[in-house]
Amino acid sequence: MSIHGGFASRLTAGEPLFSAWVGSREPAVAAVLAREAFDLVTLDMQHGAVDIDAAIRGIQLVAGAGKPAVVRIPVGDFQATSRMLDAGAAAVIAPMVNSAADARAFAAFAKFPPLGERSWGPHAALALSGLAPKDYLSRANGLTRAVAMIETRAALDALDDILAVDGIDAVFIGPSDLSIALSGGRELEPESAAVDEAIDHVLVRARAAGKAVWAYAGPPERAAAFARKGIVVSAIGSDTVFLRQGAQAALAGVGR
């Protein structure tokens, strides 16, 4: 089975998956992490240094390790969705989706007609999906995922409407921004009780809508707890966190 097909089946089965999170512009960093026991690698164009060129190369290098790559696009840059899917991303995460209108605009770029308005041009996705062009056209909407981030009060208020948009396959919780929003800008507490309550609410509403929940976890213990709650994809990381933790552990060995 192709990387895309295997990922889609695992997501449908609902088995908890763990993603590495990469902000480095150097695709070799994503490739190194792809060879660890992560199920997928997410390339971050929102806060990371990953641009279109680095994402296109990163997707190929991650695929070379047999893993699916997911891309988080910049805020509101919904047209980047089709480009990343054309390059072979297995899913696209859109940050700050705050209304049904945002969700519809995102889904339009993620899905071919009649669901959306994605334009034809899957240059690298054809090879990665292992499909002939006409089969890619008929199967891509189901094989790839459009994942809308819920990380503001507006998004929580519009949650049911966002979940109801055809073409939005899953929602992705951003606990850091959510903690800032829920505290009126007073705190950054991604593991606060208020955030946990919001996560549980999103899980209940998504379940009712038949949609999946993904989330940024950060530390592995938090990712394990998310998996137990029924979050299907939890991101661990990021690459800079791994680098700093490794450096700090090494330096501790010489008393620094």
Is residue 196 exposed (0-12), middle (13-18) or buried (19+ Cβ within 10 Å)? middle
Positions in 166-185 near ligand 3PY (CB under 6 A): 174-177
Touching Mg ion, residues 60-99 (CB under 5 A): none
Q: Which residues in 132-161 contact Mg ion (CB under 5 A)?
A: 151
How is residue 79 written in tokens? 């047209």
Interface with Mg ion includes 177 (CB under 5 A)?
Answer: yes
Please report which helix (H) or strand (E) contains residue 85, including its range.
helix 79-86
In angstroms, how far is the first alpha carbon of the chain from the final one?
48
51 secondary structure, DSSP code: -
Which backbone phi and psi does 39 adopt, to 5 degrees? -85, -25
User: Which run of H or E residues covers position 237?
Assistant: strand 233-237
Question: Would you give the binding string for Mg ion spanning residues 93-132, x where CB under 5 A is met?
Answer: ----------------------------------------
Q: Which alpha helices (H) appear in 210-254, and where do they start and end?
A: 220-229, 239-252
Site for ligand 3PY in 85-104 (CB under 6 A): 95
- When the beta carbons of 99 and 176 are compared against ligand 3PY, the nearer one is 176
Looking up tokens 């995460």 gives: 93
Q: What is the set of active-site residues?
A: 47
Smallest distance, ligand 3PY to C-beta of residue 201, A? 16
The verdict on 174 binding Mg ion (CB under 5 A) reads: yes
18 binds, among Mg ion, ligand 3PY, none (CB under 5 to 8 A by kind): none
Binding stretches for Mg ion (CB under 5 A): 151, 174, 177
Residues that bind ligand 3PY (CB under 6 A): 95, 151, 174-177, 190, 216
